[in-house]
């Protein structure tokens, strides 16, 4: 992501989380307090200064109900650390940066993302990034994949706003070989889909999405 590399000896866990955009993503992290060793492989220029600063333990602080600070603080390392190594300083200093994998439901791509201070960006990863056959020519920021995913969500939301009795599970979607989007309404009580088509046209433009 930035050039920093730390080799971590620990037990690892993968869990599903809801990210800052409300999406389900997978997140891999060390099991709390199982880190046995850290070794710096590389430090980028932007984070070199972390090594000359004391560890900021604020993000890990845990408080009693009366507001006093507990001796044991949270984090993947046991804090405080009396004499932290450079690797421990770098590890804790980059704690606000998270890597996650986003697998969209619109294709078979796998997108590795970096989350830093609430901002999400795609980052090419040697093992966690995958482009499906539909998006082999997409850029490394997965611009087309994100666009399709956003437009699909906007189209479904427009349909549900136009017909409030519809739920997300009542609406299926598909893409043709040219990546044109079609929404299929499963609810047989919806008699006039022209109202839904008009709502989607107003949201995304004429002939952008087909309603069936």
The answer to whether 148 and 179 have CB atoms below 8 angstroms apart is yes
The sign of the torsion formed by the CA atoms of 56, 60, 63, 67 equals positive
Q: Are 18 and 72 members of one domain?
A: yes
The answer to whether residues 123 and 169 belong to one domain is no
Helix (H) or strand (E) holding 141: none
**117 close to 96: Cβ distance less than 8 angstroms:** yes
Q: What is the pLDDT of residues 109-138, one digit of tens each?
A: 999 998 877 788 898 887 889 999 999 999
Q: Report how many domains make up the chain.
A: 2
- In whole angstroms, how far apart are CA 40 and each of 10, 86, 87, 123? 15, 8, 5, 21
For the whole prediction, is pTM greater than 0.85?
no
Q: What is the pLDDT of residues 152-183, one digit of tens each?
A: 999 999 999 998 888 888 999 999 999 999 99
pLDDT, tens digit, for every residue of 52-73? 988 776 666 667 778 776 655 4
Task: Answer yes or no: are the C-beta atoms of 43 and 4 closer than 8 Å.
Answer: yes
Looking at per-residue confidence, does 90 or 95 come out higher? 90
pLDDT one-digit tens code per residue, 186-207: 876 776 889 999 999 999 999 8
- Same domain for 38 and 100, yes or no, is yes
Quote the pLDDT of residue 41: 93
Cα dihedral 193/195/200/201 (nearest 10) = 110
Quick one: 94 and 178 in the same domain? Answer: no
Do residues 206 and 197 touch, judged by C-beta distance below 8 A? no
Q: For the residues of 20-43, what is the DSSP string, one character each? A: TTS-EEEEEEEPTT---EEEEEE-
Q: Residue 76 pLDDT > 70, yes or no?
A: no
Range of the domain at 82: 5-135
Same structural domain, 204 and 119: no
Residue in 37, 47, 31, 61 with CA at minimum distance from that of residue 93: 47
């Amino acid at each position: 992501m930035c050039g920093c590399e730390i080799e971590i000896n620990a037990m690892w866990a993968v869990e599903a989380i809801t990210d800052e955009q409300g999406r389900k993503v997978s997140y891999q992290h060390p099991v709390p307090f199982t880190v046995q060793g850290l070794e710096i492989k590389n430090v980028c220029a932007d984070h070199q200064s972390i090594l000359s600063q004391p560890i900021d333990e604020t993000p890990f602080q845990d408080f009693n109900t009366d507001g006093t600070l507990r001796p044991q603080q949270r984090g993947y390392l046991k804090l405080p650390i009396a004499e932290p190594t450079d690797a421990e300083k770098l590890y804790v200093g980059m704690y606000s940066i998270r890597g996650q994998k986003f697998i969209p439901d619109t294709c078979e791509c796998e997108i590795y993302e970096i989350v830093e201070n609430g901002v999400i960006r795609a980052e090419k990863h040697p093992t966690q990034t995958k482009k499906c056959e539909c998006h082999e020519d997409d850029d490394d920021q997965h611009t087309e994949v994100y666009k399709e995913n956003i437009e699909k969500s906007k189209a479904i939301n427009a349909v549900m706003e136009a017909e409030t009795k519809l739920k997300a599970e009542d609406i299926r979607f598909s893409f043709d070989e040219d990546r044109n989007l079609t929404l299929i309404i499963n609810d047989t009580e919806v008699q006039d889909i022209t109202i839904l088509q008009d709502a989607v046209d107003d949201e995304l433009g004429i002939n952008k999405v087909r309603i069936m």
